[in-house]
Amino acid sequence: MSKLLFEEYQPLAAIATTPTAAKLLLPLTQAIGAILWVPESLGGGQDAHPTTGDAHPTTGDAHPTTGDAHPTRKVYSGSLKEHLSNIWQENQGLIFCLATGAVVRLIAPLLEDKSRDPAVVVVDEAGKFVISLCSGHQGGADKLANAVALQLSATPIVTGASAALGLPGIDILGVPFGWHKGEGDWNKVAGVIARGESVQVFQEVGSTLWQLHLPEGHPFDFEGTEEQRSGGAGERGSGGISPKARIWISLTQRRFSPESDLPKVQWHPRVLWVGIGCERGTSKELIETAIEQVFRANHLALGAIAGIATIDLKADELGLRELYFDRNWPLRIFPAQVLRSFTVPNPSAVVEAEVGTPSVAEAAALCAAGSETLLVAKQVFRLEGQAGACTVAVAQAEQEYTGRTGKLLLVGTGPGQLNQMTPAAQTAVAQADAVIGYSLYIDLISPLLRPGQIVEALPITQEVQRAQRAIELANWGLSVAVVSSGDCGIYAMAGLVLEELQAQGWDGKTPGVQVFPGITALQAAASRVGAPLMHDFCAISLSDLLTPWEVIEKRLQAAAMADFVTALYNPRSRTRTEQIAIAQSIFLQYRDPNTPVALVKDAYRHSEQITITTLDKMLESNIDMLTTVIVGNSNTRTHAEWIITPRGYKVGEVDRH
């Protein structure tokens, strides 16, 4: 199930009109939590399940404990054209398995605007190509096409200009951080970027993470002068190159003159917390008007509002509730004893006598923003002929509010080559806002990375820091892929991340966590030499960095005694050279010196080396930190260049099931 990955496109529908198309899309829709619509002519058949809304009975794909079943396949009656007009609005994404021409004709009358239309993706009947047809950026069709292509092992076809340039789309730049799009000529600025011309960026607030991973030769110039910043005459960028467009990332509301031949756009990171105090019965209109007036007077962008804050006593105030509900603003409430601890410019004895704190609006704004100074001090508003009054104050948070629930995707990348990584794991990496891992593994998966993705490669020794950083970004609202080689749950990051989450009092749900298994080193190594793991086996890491050596030695003894085939991870480093010799001597106490041993270094990587040797001679060959050592059991044998561990112990008793 890859549903967590496809959450952002839900509700998601797929459409198939032929049996081949339905066969192709059914497993996909089951995996990603989409509904597959088929015409009545395909309604019958053994896998149709049109009315019950249950998961497909034969796949067993629904999560057994969470009741995750979803109606996979539904039948529409009448024409597809009519049906589409019914489901167009309600879906975030549509996946067609139909000729592109037919899809273009079908959706043409329904298209409105790229900021509102659903993502439209087309898959060919052979399942070879996945086309991002429409709403590539804001609708997410480019990302969706990539994700679907990975699920189907198909080639994604993305024709947007920024994708080819390796740049994040300018109209989706702030999406991971929850920024709001402000005014501007978005198409013109996108055109300038597509032509590779210089674009000046003034970023005053919000995360600058997006700036850190731009490709070389990107068109952005971050060195604008103060004069240009304040709207002065100079239209030259740093180094004397005239910018051809400008991007503002700020909390200010700028009005751009339509005559200016320098196209401009503005993004608003949500950093402003609006503190509100109000009398009982103050209307939504009054509060809204008050906020709008304060923002206009101070040139602040409404789009930069993170949310509103007040005292807990006002949480049920009707006008306030209507307002934050309508505007989709979060409400943060604080008790009087918290608010009274803030030093504010305009305390009021009257307010204190009434609610137990001398400040509501100012203190609540500061408290929500985690700031000590106000951007706008308290102002009082009344409206003629209306009951009630309200106070408004504004404070600025250091970090923007994303309004998103983050997730942690704990991904195993397999031993090396991309084709040894599961499609689900590939999708997780391609979809994530941020990818964190040891630099070598990030290099191995670099073809999966998307323009605009935040990539943080940290040295191998800083695993705990990597886990903490991933959790920090996920708590902030990003979807974060933490990558480990092999399987992420075997001597790798998954455990560290979960341990750290537990230490932080995680509720098990937020941020969401999904683990994507990978082929671990022992499987990879085994596959290169035959079938050494055929019978009971175990893995032991010889690294005593995190495990006391006595424990490791005890396990080596036990494994040797119990005749387990044994895979040794982390067998030897530059400084740790003794452990492998001790391990060998322990096995020699219980096993024949001729027991086959495989030394597989860098399995499935360019530098792969394979040595088949025996227990007594194993130390004569090179063993290092990139090697997995597999020691056979008492029955393991070699045949030509192959290692075989028999399926059964007694001759003639091979279990054929």
- Integer Cα distance of 485 and 511 in angstroms: 23
What's the Rg (C-alpha) of the chain?
A: 30
Nearer of residues 246 and 601 to ligand SAH, judged by Cβ: 601
Give the list of residues 6+ apart from residue 415 with CB closer than 8 angstroms, or none.
485, 486, 519, 521, 524, 603, 604, 605
Nearest to 152 by CA among 14, 8, 11, 58: 14
Q: Applying CB under 6 A, which part among 67-75, 203-211, 505-513, 521-529 lies near ligand SAH?
A: 521-529
Give the list of residues 6+ apart from residue 278 with CB closer than 8 angstroms, or none.
286, 287, 310, 314, 317, 319, 320, 388, 389, 390, 391
628 binds ligand SAH (CB under 6 A): yes
# residues contacting ligand SAH (CB under 6 A): 26
Alpha helices in 155-283, H assignment, sequence order: 161-165, 186-194, 226-229
3-state class of 412 per DSSP? strand
Is there a contact between 144 and 173 (Cβ–Cβ < 8 Å)?
no
Q: Nearest-CB residue to ligand SAH?
A: 486
Nearer of residues 60 and 447 to ligand SAH, judged by Cβ: 447
Q: Applying CB under 6 A, which part among 314-322, 348-356, 486-494, 498-506 lies near ligand SAH?
A: 486-494
282 binds ligand SAH (CB under 6 A): no
Alpha helices in 264-398, H assignment, sequence order: 284-297, 318-327, 336-339, 349-355, 361-369
Smallest gap from Cβ 487 to ligand SAH, in A, equals: 4
- Integer Cα distance of 357 and 378 in angstroms: 15
- Integer Cα distance of 625 and 543 in angstroms: 10
- Integer Cα distance of 332 and 321 in angstroms: 12
Binder of ligand SAH out of 602, 611, 631, 633 (CB under 6 A) = 602
Nearer of residues 304 and 424 to ligand SAH, judged by Cβ: 424
Smallest gap from Cβ 604 to ligand SAH, in A, equals: 6
Nearer of residues 32 and 490 to ligand SAH, judged by Cβ: 490
Q: Which amino acid is at 143?
A: K
Binder of ligand SAH out of 525, 534, 580, 643 (CB under 6 A) = 525
Q: Applying CB under 6 A, which part among 183-191, 432-440, 569-577, 587-595 lies near ligand SAH?
A: 569-577
Is there a contact between 135 and 141 (Cβ–Cβ < 8 Å)?
yes
254 binds ligand SAH (CB under 6 A): no
605 binds ligand SAH (CB under 6 A): yes
- Integer Cα distance of 142 and 532 in angstroms: 43
Q: In the structure encoding, which two tokens stand for residue 238, read together? A: 């740093």
600 binds ligand SAH (CB under 6 A): yes
Is there a contact between 580 and 556 (Cβ–Cβ < 8 Å)?
no
317 binds ligand SAH (CB under 6 A): no
Q: Applying CB under 6 A, which part among 70-78, 465-473, 580-588, 624-632 lies near ligand SAH?
A: 624-632
487 binds ligand SAH (CB under 6 A): yes
Q: Applying CB under 6 A, which part among 23-31, 281-289, 333-341, 489-497 lies near ligand SAH?
A: 489-497
Question: Distances from the Cα of 591 to the Cαs of 122, 566, 571, in angstroms?
Answer: 59, 12, 19
Is there a contact between 150 and 423 (Cβ–Cβ < 8 Å)?
yes
Q: Applying CB under 6 A, which part among 232-240, 249-257, 348-356, 563-571 lies near ligand SAH?
A: 563-571
Residues forming beta bridges with residue 516, ordered by sequence position: 411
Stretch 443-462 residues interacting with ligand SAH (CB under 6 A):
none
Is there a contact between 477 and 402 (Cβ–Cβ < 8 Å)?
yes
Nearer of residues 362 and 602 to ligand SAH, judged by Cβ: 602
491 binds ligand SAH (CB under 6 A): yes
Binder of ligand SAH out of 175, 524, 583, 631 (CB under 6 A) = 524
3-state class of 609 per DSSP? strand
Binder of ligand SAH out of 355, 513, 521, 560 (CB under 6 A) = 521
The CA-CA-CA angle for residues 548, 550, 554, to 5°, reads: 125
Q: Applying CB under 6 A, which part among 174-182, 197-205, 375-383, 478-486 lies near ligand SAH?
A: 478-486
301 binds ligand SAH (CB under 6 A): no
484 binds ligand SAH (CB under 6 A): yes
Binder of ligand SAH out of 138, 569, 599, 630 (CB under 6 A) = 569
599 binds ligand SAH (CB under 6 A): no
Binder of ligand SAH out of 351, 467, 603, 615 (CB under 6 A) = 603
Stretch 413-432 residues interacting with ligand SAH (CB under 6 A):
415-416
Smallest gap from Cβ 31 to ligand SAH, in A, equals: 24
Strands 199-203 and 245-249, by their bridges, are parallel
Half-sphere exposure of 596 (CA within 13 A, CB side): 24
Site map (CB under 6 A) of ligand SAH, residues 529-558, x = contact: ------------------------------
587 binds ligand SAH (CB under 6 A): no
The total number of residues written for the chain in this structure? 657
3-state class of 209 per DSSP? helix
- Integer Cα distance of 404 and 50 in angstroms: 34
Q: In the structure encoding, which two tokens stand for residue 87, read together? A: 């489901």
Nearer of residues 323 and 490 to ligand SAH, judged by Cβ: 490
Smallest gap from Cβ 425 to ligand SAH, in A, equals: 12
Question: Which residues here bind ligand SAH, judged by CB under 6 A?
Answer: 415-416, 484-487, 490-492, 520-521, 524-525, 569-571, 600-605, 625-628
